[in-house]
Amino acid sequence: MGLVMSKNIEVLSDKNALIARALQLILSRMKTAIQQRGLFTIALSGGSTPKPLYEVIAQQQLPWDKIHVFWGDERYVPPHHPDSNQLMARNVWLSKVGIPEENIHSMPTNDSEPRIAAAKYEQHLQDFFRSTSENFPALDIVLLGMGDDAHTASLFPQTEALSVDNRLITVGHKDGNMRLTFTYPFINAARCVMFIVGGVNKRSALAKVFAPEADNYQYPSRLIKPQGELWWLLDEAAGSELTS
């Protein structure tokens, strides 16, 4: 096994422990962000792993008016489509707490052209962060999952989204299904990037992501090297071989 990517790799006993640790880290960074800047910004991932995390965040007593939620990627489907990442997070979390609707920054998926939607969301981000096109605004946390093909967000292996390094948002695709996604440099601009990865089916992809040499375009999670904090929270099933 090659060198692991960074000291912030934690292998937790099971999924519950993984979710509890992720919650702890998110709440501590939320507190710091609000103390220092008066608000907390987080980009959510889709998929199944984060669902119990969103459920437990919804049970916390938090200053919801200071919390802003974005998405790191979205399937290019209407907001009420069962595949929508936004719908999942609203159902298990956002609809259950007093977060103002204007703090929920969902990716637009109603344009006929995903490229136009990507540009609109990028403009929205630049307006929100009052950033210019020259620099990448820093979110407090970008929460990521990883597929068993080592994709993250909607940065899939051998796709053109992987080479977009001068935009915040681009169009991804998986098996012909269009997505909107943060670009890898925008993810890397975050103060903290947190992967939550569980299950034995992720083991081989993790080995490639942490290997000293491998093709970044075949294993896109290798592109995630933030100048801020990088956390890999893994359960035993996924990560036990990495730290042995």
Ligand X SMILES: O=C(O)[C@H](O)[C@@H](O)[C@H](O)[C@H](O)COP(=O)(O)O
Among 41, 84, 85, 109, binds ligand X (CB under 6 A): 85
145 binds ligand X per the rule CB under 6 A = yes
Positions in 152-171 near ligand X (CB under 6 A): 152-154
Q: Which is nearer to ligand X, 47 or 228 (CB)?
A: 47
Q: Which is nearer to ligand X, 62 or 72 (CB)?
A: 72
Q: Which is nearer to ligand X, 49 or 170 (CB)?
A: 49
Residues 99 and 57: beta-carbon distance below 8 Å: no
DSSP per-residue string spanning 163-226: G--S-SEEEEEETTEEEEEE-HHHHHTSSEEEEEE-SGGGHHHHHHHHSSS--TTTSGGGG---
Q: Which is nearer to ligand X, 62 or 205 (CB)?
A: 205
Positions in 10-39 near ligand X (CB under 6 A): none
Say which residue the tokens 């999952």 belong to. 145
CB of 143 to ligand X, least distance (A): 9
CB of 76 to ligand X, least distance (A): 11
Site string for ligand X, 42-81 (x = CB under 6 A): ---xxxxx-----------------------x--------
Residues 118 and 149: beta-carbon distance below 8 Å: no
The residue nearest ligand X at its CB is: 145
CB of 63 to ligand X, least distance (A): 26
Residues 138 and 186: beta-carbon distance below 8 Å: no
Say which residue the tokens 């298990």 belong to. 92
Q: Which is nearer to ligand X, 45 or 188 (CB)?
A: 45
Q: What angle do CA 220, 215, 107 make, to 5 degrees?
A: 15
CB of 1 to ligand X, least distance (A): 22
CB of 114 to ligand X, least distance (A): 14
Q: Which is nearer to ligand X, 83 or 113 (CB)?
A: 83
Q: Which is nearer to ligand X, 63 or 199 (CB)?
A: 199
CB atoms within 10 A of CB 127: 9
DSSP per-residue string spanning 111-140: SS-HHHHHHHHHHHHHHHHT--TTS----S
> In the Cβ-directed half-sphere of 90, how many Cα atoms lie within 13 Å?
15
CB of 134 to ligand X, least distance (A): 27
Size of the site for ligand X (CB under 6 A): 14
Compute, in degrees rounded to 10, the torsion defined by CA atoms 97, 100, 105, 111.
110
- The residue ranges that bind ligand X (CB under 6 A) are 45-49, 73, 85, 145-147, 151-154
